[in-house]
A and B are shown apart, each in its own frame.
Chain A
Amino acid sequence: MALEVPYANMVRLQSWSMIKNRRLIMAEKKEKVIPDEYIPEVGSRVVTLEGKDYLLQNDAMFTFYDRAAGEFSSFFLGLKDEKKILGCKCTKCGLVRVPPMLTHCPDCDFAPTELLEVGQVGRMLSTPPITYFATSMFLHQAPFGRGRVVLEGADTALSILCYTTTGILVPGVITKDTEVKVIFKDERVGAVTDIFCVPTSELAPGQIAKKGLQESELNWAAPKEPKFPKATDEDVAVYKQCFKEMQALAAEMSESKRARKAIEGWKRDIAVKTRAGEFAMYINDGDFGIKEKKLESPDFIMACEDLRTLLDGLRYKGAITDSVIMKKLWISKNMEFTTIFKLDRLARFLAREKKEQAAK
């Protein structure tokens, strides 16, 4: 027992110093594990169906972790502190796995593996998917590609975020076998999100060769509002007709129980700019409105040369999301993809309501 007491004290002391350090870190970095805006207030609501009330409770299921990175510590600390990428090599078959997800090779009756550093340039194992509709946790990084890169010196593929420095990632920019470079974030925390990749074709030779190239060393294209040529009389006539139709459609949407659901609890004032005119689009908890007005401080701007692009989307003839992806419609904030999805749903819900009514 005599020996155990000091040891226990030591552990206690160590824990206290760790906690103190953690408090310091938390004080410096104000970012929370769960950002406040995602946390609902305590409350409830009632939905009435066929004359009967049903309760809905605001609720959460949450757990916090003091998660041990264990055998992965070297890999994550390598990313964070040394800007290097580690893999593990089987001492028997020589297969190099990145990330180093195991200490013994299952193909060789669990022969031990050894850590080694691999290159920071590689080729995509396959064409990466692009996520446009992200969850609330990943809205800030959408649209994003997530692919698998086989780095120089590795046999297996590392899952990694894929970006282009030229703007929104669209299909075709990064495909199977595209050569990419791993880029390190300026602020790293020891997580797989400390790195991402961009095509080497967008980099200078010196950047490609540099180990530990950081995001701030890249030449990122800034979002720029498109400028349209002067409108012709015909453009103005088309615009006026479209605007009228859009107003009628908006009234129909505001009256549709189902369509209202698409924009329930959502509020946005949007400035819509086109070649032949500018107007305001309002989303307000189920209400959808179009007004001839120039907004001074909109939540965001939508710009499309021809208003028919937007009108077709709202009529459920082609998705507005696709218009953004195909660069027919420009939005000033990528985060507002959420609103674009809601507008697509608005169109779909109205179309679906009409169709179901006809079917029944």
Chain B
Amino acid sequence: MARKFTGRKVGIVGASATPFKGKWYEKTYYELGQMATREATKDAAISIKDVDAVAYAIYNDIFERSAIPEHPLQGIIGMANKPGIRVTNGGSTGLYTIAAAHAFVSAGIHDVMLVLGVEKATDCFDFSSMSATPEVIKTIGWSGDCWFEQKLGWSASDSYAEVILAYMDEHPGDLKPEVTAQISSQLSKQVRTNPYAQRQFDQVTPEEVMNSRYIVYPFKELEICVYTEGAAALIIAEEKTAKAIAKNSGKPVVWITGIGESNEWAYAGKNQNHWGRIYSHHVAAMKAYEMAGIKDPLREIDVVELHDAFIQQLEVSMAEMNFVPLGRADDLVEDGIMMPGGKVSVNPSGGLIYCGHAVGASNIMSAWSTRNEIINKGLRRGLVHGTGSTICQYGAVTILEHD
């Protein structure tokens, strides 16, 4: 059903990201949250007192070791006695939080809002193998279906691998290992200019990607996002306020012109999840395009910050969002679409694979990067993408545009 957007125009007037690190020994998530807030208000050249409300993007209670992890932050970030809402939607938590804040501002409930994403993932530690990663994976494992799947050893990797293998069953010639290796290598080059990235200096060759070990077949170590600790924040405002803030800060408003989300069935089979596709990403993109008036994303979008949990999923997500046809996602490389000089820049931040995946903060970091690209390179339009939950069940897309 076609929908007409009738709300107030909303734009981003400030943004920040903390350094994304494998482990922050020096800071708790309280300090990371405040750090991102401080930087975002500084970027917008406003006082925190000018902000009406906050929306928190924090994915997993177990990571923060509190079932209401946002509550200590309220006072610490200078938002005492103001509204605060927490959103949690798996990997797409960040974009859903932006959408929630956008709804509040666009509806006229608030004029200026802070969107704050933070996650401290690698405090989790597996004492039997003396490393953090298995415990982080285990912690995310608690996100799976608690009756029929968790106990089987459900993990984010095996869940996304299921979706990718089902796609490969339908399109056996696509997602060639040589192509996924080239994409990973390309992202590792792009991260070089992102000083906030966890792996800024970890440039890899396609050969190294091909030679890296399997984590879950068909995913190899250098094709998978890394778990990170960090925070990111946006300040959003309604049109009149946004323009006033922009005039004062000297930074143009980047408008939020399209928003779309979709959550699919969590189970597969007839009449349930669209097996062999990532349909949630397709629906989310179509909704966002409709709102933003986009007909041909490849011509009309200059930069994409995509939630690349896995390289193969990056490719399928690009196909689902109509940048390339389904079954020909390898065109992204083979036709040079996302390679240097190509039609669209994908993950200039290095994405979640090289910048890092601080879950609740990840999509907000992606929005921060997209805004930077739009402002600094004078681009017209960018797309921010998020995915989450089991079998890529959740999809979220936000369109950002130059003033």
Stretch of B100-108, B123-131, B245-253, B345-353 that contacts chain A: B123-131
Contact residues of A: prevailing secondary structure: mixed
B211 touches A49 (CB 8 A): no
Give the number of chain B interface residues (Cβ < 8 Å): 54
- Interface-located stretch among B34-42, B51-59, B76-84, B145-153: B145-153
* Residue B268 is within 8 A (CB to CB) of chain A in the complex: yes
Tell me how far the C-beta of A102 lies from the nearest C-beta in chain B, rounded to whole angstroms: 10
Known contacts A61-B62, A146-B153, A155-B269; is A132 also within 8 Å of B26 by CB? no
Chain B residues whose CB sits within 8 angstroms of the CB of A316 once the complex forms = 208, 211
In the assembled complex, A161 has its CB within 8 A of some CB on chain B? yes
A264 to B133, CA, bound (A): 14
Q: In the complex, what's the smallest C-beta–C-beta distance from A141 to chain B, in angstroms?
A: 6
Is B126 touching A135 in the complex (CB atoms < 8 A)?
yes
Q: Which residues of B in the span 166-222 have a Cβ within 8 Å of any Cβ on A?
A: 166, 168-169, 201-203, 208, 211-218, 220-221
Tell whether A321 pairs with B213 under 8 Å between CB atoms, given A126-B162, A129-B165, A144-B153: yes
A132, A141, A154, A317 interface centre (most CB from chain B within 10 Å): A132
Q: Which residues in A have their C-beta under 8 angstroms from that of B168?
A: 127
Say yes or no: is A325 at the interface (Cβ < 8 Å to chain B).
yes
* With A40-B127, A325-B214 as contacts: A126 and B202 at CB distance below 8 Å: no
Query: Are A129 and B161 neighbours in the complex by a CB distance under 8 Å?
Result: yes
The chain B residue with its CB closest to the CB of A134 is B153
- What residue in chain B is nearest A58 (Cβ atoms)? B127
1/0 contact trace for B263-287 toward A, CB 8 Å?
0000111111001100000000000
Instruction: Please name all residues of chain A whose beta carbon is closer than 8 Å to the beta carbon of B138 when the two chains form the complex.
Output: 135-137
Q: Contact at B130–A157, with CB atoms within 8 Å? A: no
Contact B148 A159 (CB under 8 A): yes
Q: Which residues of B contact A56 (CB under 8 A)?
A: 25
Residue A101 lies at the interface, judged by CB distance under 8 Å to chain B: yes
Q: How many A-B residue pairs have CB under 8 A?
A: 180
Question: Which of A16-24, A25-33, A297-305, A352-360 sits within the interface?
Answer: A352-360
Chain B residue at minimal CB-CB distance from A161: B152
B212 to chain A minimum Cβ distance, whole angstroms, is: 6
In the complex, chain A residues whose CB is within 8 Å of the CB of B149 = 146, 159, 192
Residues of B contacting A97 with CB < 8 Å? 267, 269
A133→B162 contact, CB < 8 A = no
Interface residue A271 (Cβ < 8 Å from any Cβ of B) = no
Query: A-side interface residues toward B, CB under 8 Å?
Result: 37-40, 47, 49, 52, 54, 56, 58-59, 61, 69, 72, 95, 97, 99, 101, 107, 125-138, 141-142, 144, 146-148, 150, 154-161, 171, 175-176, 191-193, 264-266, 316-322, 325, 338, 341-342, 344, 348, 352, 355-356, 359-360
Which 5 pairs of residues, A with B, have the shortest CB-CB distance?
A: A156-B269, A265-B130, A319-B213, A129-B161, A126-B166
